[in-house]
Structures are given as C-alpha cells and as structure tokens.
C-alpha cells in the first residue's frame, strides 16, 4: 500500500521529479511517487521488457475521457554540465537539470492539475511511460493496447512534450510526420579504372539521375504538412583507391512523410527514376504520420486556454521529429501536444524557466475547468 505523498506546489513537484535519475528505461521510483501523489485515482500498471507504464484515472461524470500523457524517462546527461544534472539548480529564474524541458516540466504541470481538480464532466486520466526516449516498443503503445482491450481508451489526449519555439504559447502540435528510411544498392561491375569499357560503374549510372532523388518533394504538402522530401543521408562505393571501378554503390535516404505519401509511393518513385538499372531497395518505417482535425474539441479548447492564460494566439504545427503522440493517433484518439519552449532538450545544461512551468500548469488547469 502506497502512502500518500505530501502536497506540493507545481514548482516543488517539478524539482522533486527532476531529482529522480530516470534514464531510459529506468523510472527510478518516479512512477511510484506520482501514484502516491494522486490518491483517489485508480491505478493500472502494465510492465514489459524492463519498462514501467502507469495509467491512473478518475471518473467524475458521464462526459468525455481526457487523458494527459508523457514520459518520465530522460536521455543520459552526457558531458559539459556546469552542475549535477540530477540535482536541479535554480538560477536567475531558470531550473537546470536533465529533463527540465523534455519533459518533466510537462509531467509536473499535469500531475499538479490532476492533484487539485475537484470537478470534471467526464473522466480524467494520466498515462506515463519510462520508455519514450528509447525504442518505445514496450512503452505507451503497450498501455494503449491494454486500455483498448478493457474499453478504457481516452477520447482526447494532451501530450505535454515541449512544443513552443520562441515564446511560451506560440505553438502546439496537432500531428507529426512519419519517418521512412531507405537503403538503396546500385549494382555494377567492378573493374580497372584504366578500362572503363570493361566495367559497369554504378557511380556513373546514378550521377545523371541523382537530382531526381536528392531533395525531391514526393507530394505538394497541405495545410497541415510541408511536402514529403527525400533527403539523401549517405552515399558510398568503392574501396578508397583510385584505380578500381566500384562494383556497387550504396545510398541511404530518409523521408519525413506526411499522410499524403506512403512507402508504396516512395518505392514507385525510385522505380521510375532507376528504370533499367540493377538495384535493390529496402524501406523501413520507424513512425507513421498522423494529424488531428483542426476542428477537434481538444484543439479548440487547448487553443482557447493558451490564449486566455498567455495572450498568445498559438499556431498549429506538425513540425519536428516524433513523439508518443503518434501512438495516440494510431488508436484513433484526438491528440495534441503542448509544453514549454523547446531549445535545450538533450543538451548539456538543459533548462526551462519557472515562469513557463507555472504558466503551463495554469493552461492545463484552465483546460480542465472549461473542457465541456
């Protein structure tokens, strides 16, 4: 039986969470602390592969189910810190520690919101994992699969990742691009450089075609997404000598794809460009694109709460890398991401301001109070 944790304000809670050395996939006891901090909430753990996943919920009424989600794990601190990365340092209004932006600020803001809520027209919940910064195979998606089985999937979700760019409140994420990786091998025939007619040089084969691959837009984009661009990340062939024609050339690329472009369309484009060449192509996909309708209730109410608290008219964005919001989208949950400014994540001396954390907490409080 967990003993209730003492009541804190949002900044004290933030500092406490930062003190847990929760490097992926170790939650370092932070999930048990959060469980104890929220008495009155029902608790479900689904743990797999050394990863802990916590879901807590409380039914206040018969309305919608709104979930706050995120992760307690952080990347290793690395070198270059001017203070202990797991002993939060408060200096000139900023808090320095690993996870300050990504994303214990967000976790503190919504946990404190849930701690203090008294009324809600529906169900409130949180979903936390210790495997977001890693492979994420045993993280949020495992809990969502369980919640689907027991009929507890949320209707709406807020993932408190750091989303703001230059000013707190200036951006929320309503979707994310996917990521397709390509591994292309052009096959030729090795030979002596002095007798090019006896060889088949794959470098010469690809050279006049490269501009049809490198930096090419595979779709035109839309209101939510920039065009899906093919980005060449590596080209290599040969044996690092000057007198041997290479027998093959290997090329790697990445496509951060929107909902308009799939693996099949990438494969078809490569086939069209390389028609007549001997090649192999392998495609893998680490994440899939998703987008929440701009008219969704969670987008509308989050936008209103941000403007009410900050006075900022936020923009709706799908830029950036990936997050666990992609799993919410895959399960049909309307999801948005909103958190503090994102400018020092994963860097030495990661930091955020006390003012931002307090403002984020106020935004979440306003959202819960007005979410009808």
Residues classed as catalytic: 73, 132
Helix spans in 168-240 (H): 202-206
CA angle 118, 121, 38 (to 5 degrees): 40
Q: Cα separation of 260 and 195, whole Å?
A: 46
Burial pattern 78-104, b for ≥16 Cβ within 10 A else e, equals eeebeeebbebbeeeebbbbbbbbbbb
The pair of three-digit structure tokens given for residue 16, joined into one six-digit string: 């406490």
Alpha-carbon dihedral angle through residues 14, 18, 20, 25, given to the nearest 10 degrees = 110
Q: Cα separation of 103 and 97, whole Å?
A: 11
* Burial (Cβ within 10 Å: 0-12, 13-18, ≥19) of residue 22: buried
Which residue, among 157, 155, 148, has the nearest Cα to 175 in the 3D structure?
157
The answer to whether 274 and 280 have CB atoms below 8 angstroms apart is no
Q: What is the 3-state secondary structure (H, E, C) of 268-337?
A: HHHHHHCCCCCEEEEEEEEECCEECCCCCHHHHHHHHHHHHHHCCCCEEECCCCCCCHHHHHHCCCEEEE
Q: Cβ of 243: how many Cβ atoms within 10 Å?
A: 8
Is residue 30 reached through a cis peptide bond, with omega within 30 degrees of 0 on the bond before it? Answer: no
């Amino acid at each position: 039986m967990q003993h209730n944790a003492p009541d804190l304000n949002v900044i004290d809670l933030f500092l406490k969470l930062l003190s847990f050395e929760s490097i992926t996939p170790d939650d370092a006891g932070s999930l048990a602390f959060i469980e104890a901090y929220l008495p009155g909430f029902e608790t479900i753990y689904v743990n797999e592969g050394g990863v802990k996943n916590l879901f807590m919920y409380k039914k206040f009424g018969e309305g919608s189910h709104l979930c706050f989600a995120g992760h307690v794990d952080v990347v290793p601190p690395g070198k270059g810190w001017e203070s202990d990365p797991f002993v939060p340092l408060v200096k000139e209004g900023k808090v320095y520690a690993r996870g300050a932006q990504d994303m214990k600020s967000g976790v503190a803001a919504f946990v404190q919101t849930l701690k203090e809520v008294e009324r809600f027209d529906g169900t409130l919940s949180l979903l936390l994992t210790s495997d977001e910064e890693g492979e994420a195979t045993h993280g949020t998606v495992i809990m969502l699969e369980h919640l689907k089985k027991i009929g507890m999937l949320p209707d709406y979700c807020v993932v408190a990742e750091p989303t703001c760019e230059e000013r707190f409140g200036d951006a929320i994420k309503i979707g994310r691009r996917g990521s397709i990786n390509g591994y292309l091998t052009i096959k030729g025939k090795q030979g002596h450089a002095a007798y090019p007619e006896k060889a088949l040089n794959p470098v010469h084969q690809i050279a006049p075609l490269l501009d049809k691959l490198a930096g090419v837009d595979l779709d035109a984009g839309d209101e939510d997404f920039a065009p899906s661009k093919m980005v060449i990340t590596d080209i290599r062939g040969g044996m690092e000598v000057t007198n041997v024609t290479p027998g093959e050339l290997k090329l790697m690329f990445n496509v951060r794809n929107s909902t308009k472009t799939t693996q099949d369309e990438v494969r078809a484009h490569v086939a069209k460009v390389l028609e007549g060449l001997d090649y192999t192509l392998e495609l893998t996909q680490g994440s899939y694109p998703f987008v929440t309708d701009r008219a969704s209730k969670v987008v509308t109410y989050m936008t209103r709460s941000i403007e009410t608290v900050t006075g900022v008219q936020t923009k709706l964005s799908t830029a950036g890398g990936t997050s666990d919001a992609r799993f919410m989208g895959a399960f049909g949950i309307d999801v948005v991401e909103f958190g503090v400014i994102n400018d020092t994540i994963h860097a030495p001396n990661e930091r955020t301001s006390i003012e931002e954390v307090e403002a984020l907490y106020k935004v979440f409080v306003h959202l819960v109070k007005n979410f009808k």
